[in-house]
């Protein structure tokens, strides 16, 4: 049944990355269910599939990227589209506002914190802008202080200090810092500064998070950015991320899982951006094979550097992997994690994947690749204690040990029990009367009054 419309239209503009498109489309669904009409402006690169969302209007703008251009380096990609998309976006938004009818006013723009020009464009057109942050609030709160932390001299880290927490950024450890900053160094500073400035000028900040996961960080976010904060919960609890998948999902995963015992399968996926070397890939393969546990492994084509897909595996290794496992190019992750057969998740701890795992009560093995994943994984292993951290050791023995520990041993059972408690708490937050549920109401009212 069509929900009652409230005569207001919200314009959404996701960054063209899987981990940013999923939450934005989920947010679109949440707002649509509260009566708002939805228009999604998107780049040509990684365009969401309009036909999967017949209730929304989709408008494509030029991003100036060529078909052949490599898009692997996310920071360069973001820098380039932030330049290329500004003018087409401005034209598109202006046109939309001109066309906006008395009967259906455009109330605001909601876009990703990674767009740097949208605040200025929105202001010039007199349109309020809200920011969607797809990171954990604790990580976003560190944006203003990251340049300072970089110059504090923690790097390079000596062995004796590796496990010390970063005083300005707990529970991050000093050994995590090099992977937070990557090779960008001071080149990041203008980007971070722009994100902070444009967020502070916005009309509100939306987190896919909840008080049960980070109450203090949400309070701090309010103090830092000085705008209304809306922590409206893990979006996955309301709408599945599957409909906005940019890759074809291998649906054979589900019947395959149907043939496995309860909680017997470890799901392995490093998300849509992380790449690994061939050596690391082979270490993971041998670790999984030697663990003798069943597994479902997503190997995204192109994610093993120098290979198209899984050709670095020898025939013998493929045979031994096939005895207990299944390798696919892309999975319907949320459905997989919700399956009774899944007992663990070896993950890169992207914020979406981490939340999806918590919402389904699946304990994790943490193998973060960089940036916010370093912090998310510390929360999983050190604060919530619902996972085992590999500490970057992509070695077959370590992987075998962690998989066995999680799936077979007492320690794994304790982790699973703690995960159940965390899942239940988060679940409460999205139910009637819960903190996220209430925050959605507050957000909807905020937009109505803009
Ligand atoms: N995902 C998926 N199938 C896969 C792997 C990932 O649908 O085989 C989805 C996953 O459910 C999540 C998103 O892709 O919603 C990945 O986002 P995340 O923030 O975890 O990591 P990123 O890809 O941005 O590094």
Decide: 344 in ligand 1 pocket, CB within 6 A: no
Nearest ligand 1 atom to alpha carbon 20 = 24
Nearest C-alpha neighbor of 105 from the set 221, 6, 228: 6
Ligand 1 lined by 373 (C-beta under 6 Å):
no
Q: Cβ atoms within 10 A of the Cβ of 156, count?
A: 9
Q: Under a CB-based contact definition with an 8 Å cutoff, are residues 8 and 36 in contact?
A: yes
Task: State pLDDT tens for residues 70-87.
Answer: 777 888 899 999 999 999
- CA triple 232-31-442, angle to 5 deg: 50
- Three-state DSSP at 262 gives coil
In this structure, is residue 157 part of a structural domain?
yes
Residue 384 shares a structural domain with residue 445: no
**Which residue intervals of 325-395 are DSSP H helices?**
333-338, 351-359, 372-378
ipTM of the complex, rounded to two decimals: 1.00
Establish whether residue 350 lines the binding site of ligand 1, counting it when its CB lies within 6 angstroms of any ligand atom.
Answer: yes
- Domain match, 121 and 237 both: yes
- In terms of pLDDT, which residue wins out, 69 or 219? 219
Residue 66 binned pLDDT confidence (cut-offs 50, 70, 90): confident
Give the nearest ligand 1 atom to 337 CA.
Answer: 11
What is the end-to-end Cα distance of the chain in Å, rounded?
28
14 and 151 share one domain? yes
Ligand 1 lined by 353 (C-beta under 6 Å): yes
Residue of 273, 296, 342, 353 with the most ligand 1 atoms within 8 Å of its CB, for mutation: 353
List, for residues 294-313, the tens digit of each pLDDT value.
999 999 999 999 999 999 99
- What does pLDDT average to over the chain? 96
- In this predicted structure, what is the pLDDT of residue 71? 73
CA 17–ligand 1 middle distance (angstroms): 10
Alpha-carbon span 443 to 450, nearest angstrom: 11
Question: Does any domain span residue 2?
Answer: no
- The two tokens of residue 373 are 């994943």
pLDDT at 2: 54
Domain co-membership, 275 together with 210: no
Range of the domain at 384: 247-427
CA angle 212, 214, 220 (to 5 degrees): 135
**What 8-state DSSP symbol labels residue 304?**
B
Residue 201 within any structural domain of the chain: yes
Is 1 part of a structural domain of the chain?
Answer: no
CA dist., res. 425 & res. 421, Å (int): 6
Cβ(356) – ligand 1 distance below 6 Å:
yes
**What is the atom index within ligand 1 of the atom nearest the CA of 330?**
8
Same domain, 239 and 310: no
Quick check: CB of 330 below 6 Å from ligand 1? Answer: yes
Confidence of residue 3 (pLDDT cuts 50, 70, 90): low
- The answer on pLDDT for 320 being more than 70 is yes
The per-residue pLDDT for range 98-113, each reduced to its tens digit, is 998 888 999 999 999 9
Protein residue with its CA nearest to atom 6 in ligand 1: 271
Six token digits for residue 132: 């969607």
Same domain, 348 and 421: yes
* Cβ atoms of 247 and 300 closer than 8 Å: yes
- Whether the bond between 171 and the residue before it is cis, its omega within 30 degrees of 0, is yes
Query: Residue 202: CB within 6 Å of ligand 1?
Result: no
Give the nearest ligand 1 atom to 334 CA: 11
231 and 275 fall within a common domain: no
Among 381, 403, 391, residue whose Cα is nearest residue 267: 403
Instruction: Write the residue with the smallest CA distance to atom 13 of ligand 1.
Output: 19
Ligand 1 atom 17, closest CA: 19
How many Å apart are CA 443 and CA 438, to the nearest integer?
9
Atom number of ligand 1 nearest to Cα 331: 8
Asked if pLDDT for residue 411 goes beyond 70, the answer is yes
Q: Residue 158 gets which letter from DSSP?
A: P
CA-17 nearest atom, ligand 1: 24
289 lines ligand 1 (CB under 6 A): no
- Tell me, yes or no, whether 287 and 321 share the same domain: yes
Q: Is the CB of 269 under 6 A from ligand 1?
A: yes
* pLDDT value at residue 394: 98
**Within this chain, do residues 184 and 199 fall inside the same structural domain, yes or no?**
yes
- Three-class SS state of 343: strand
Q: Which of 207, 237, 272 to mutate to test the pocket of ligand 1 (most atoms within 8 A of CB)?
A: 272
* E-strand stretches of 158-291: 205-207, 229-231, 265-269
**DSSP letter, residue 379:** I
Does pLDDT of 1 surpass 70? Answer: no
Would 386 be classed as within a structural domain? yes
Q: What is the CATH number of the domain that holds 133?
A: 3.40.50.2000
Predicted pLDDT at 4: 80
| 233 vs 440: CA distance, rounded Å | 9
Assigned domain for 374 exists: yes
Question: 415 lies in a domain?
Answer: yes
Rg (CA), the chain: 22
Question: How many angstroms separate the alpha carbon of residue 251 from the centre of ligand 1?
Answer: 16
At 74 the pLDDT is 87
pLDDT cut 90: percent of the chain above it: 92
Give CA–CA dist 229/221, Å, rounded.
7
Query: How many Å apart are CA 146 and CA 152, to the nearest integer?
Result: 10
Check if 36 has its Cβ closer than 6 Å to any atom of ligand 1: no
CA distance 118 to 94: 12
Over range 240-255, report the average pLDDT.
94
Confidence of residue 183 (pLDDT cuts 50, 70, 90): confident
CA 233 – CA 434 distance, rounded (Å)? 10
The answer, yes or no, to whether residue 147 has pLDDT greater than 70, is yes
Beta strands in 208-291 (DSSP E): 229-231, 265-269
Residues 260 and 163 in one domain: no
Are residues 65 and 150 part of one domain? yes
Cβ atoms of 343 and 263 closer than 8 Å: yes
Does residue 3 lie in a domain region? no
Going by alpha carbons, the residue nearest to atom 9 of ligand 1 is 333
Domain count, the chain: 2
pLDDT of 110: 98
360 and 403 belong to one structural domain: yes
Report CA(44)–ligand 1 centroid distance (Å). 20
Rounded Cα distance, 318 and 329, in Å: 15
């Amino acid at each position: 049944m069509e929900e009652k419309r409230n005569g207001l239209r919200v314009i959404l503009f996701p960054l063209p990355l899987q981990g940013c498109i999923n939450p934005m489309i989920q947010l679109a669904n949440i707002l649509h269910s509260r009566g708002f009409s939805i228009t999604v402006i998107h780049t040509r690169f990684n365009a969401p599939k309009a036909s999967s969302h017949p209730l929304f209007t989709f408008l494509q703008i030029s991003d100036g990227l060529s078909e052949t251009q490599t898009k692997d380096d996310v920071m360069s990609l973001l820098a380039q589209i932030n330049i290329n998309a500004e003018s087409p976006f401005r034209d598109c938004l202006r046109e939309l506002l001109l066309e906006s009818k008395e009967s259906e006013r455009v109330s605001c723009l909601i876009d990703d914190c990674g767009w740097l020009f949208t605040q200025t464009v929105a202001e010039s057109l007199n349109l309020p802008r809200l920011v969607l942050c797809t990171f954990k609030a604790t990580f976003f709160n560190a944006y203003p202080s990251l340049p300072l932390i970089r110059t504090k001299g923690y790097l390079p880290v000596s062995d004796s200090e590796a496990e010390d927490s970063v005083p300005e950024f707990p529970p991050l450890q000093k050994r995590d810092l090099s992977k937070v900053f990557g090779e960008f160094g001071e080149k990041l500073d203008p980007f971070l500064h722009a994100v902070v400035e444009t967020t502070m000028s916005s009309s509100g900040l939306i987190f896919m998070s909840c008080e049960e996961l980070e109450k203090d960080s949400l309070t701090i976010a309010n103090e830092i950015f000085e705008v209304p904060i809306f922590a409206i919960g893990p979006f996955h609890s309301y709408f599945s991320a599957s409909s906005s998948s940019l890759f074809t999902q291998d649906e054979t995963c589900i019947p395959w899982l149907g043939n496995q015992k309860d909680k017997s399968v470890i799901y392995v996926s490093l998300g849509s951006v992380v790449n690994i070397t061939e050596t690391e890939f082979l270490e993971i393969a041998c670790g999984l094979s030697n663990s003798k546990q069943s597994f479902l492994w997503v190997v995204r084509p192109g994610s093993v550097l120098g290979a198209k897909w899984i050709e670095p595996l020898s025939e013998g290794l493929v045979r031994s992997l096939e005895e207990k496992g299944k390798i696919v190019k892309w999975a319907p992750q949320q459905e997989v994690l919700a399956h009774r057969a899944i007992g663990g998740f070896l993950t890169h701890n992207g914020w979406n994947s981490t939340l999806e795992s918590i919402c389904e009560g699946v304990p994790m093995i943490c193998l973060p690749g960089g940036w916010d994943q370093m912090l998310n994984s510390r929360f999983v292993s050190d604060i919530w204690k619902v996972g085992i951290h590999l500490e970057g050791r992509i070695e077959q023995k370590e992987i075998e040990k962690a998989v066995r520990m999680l799936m077979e041993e007492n320690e794994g059972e304790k982790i699973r029990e703690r995960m159940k408690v965390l899942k239940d708490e988060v679940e409460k937050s999205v139910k009637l009367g819960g903190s996220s549920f209430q925050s959605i109401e507050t957000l909807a009212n905020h937009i109505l009054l803009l």
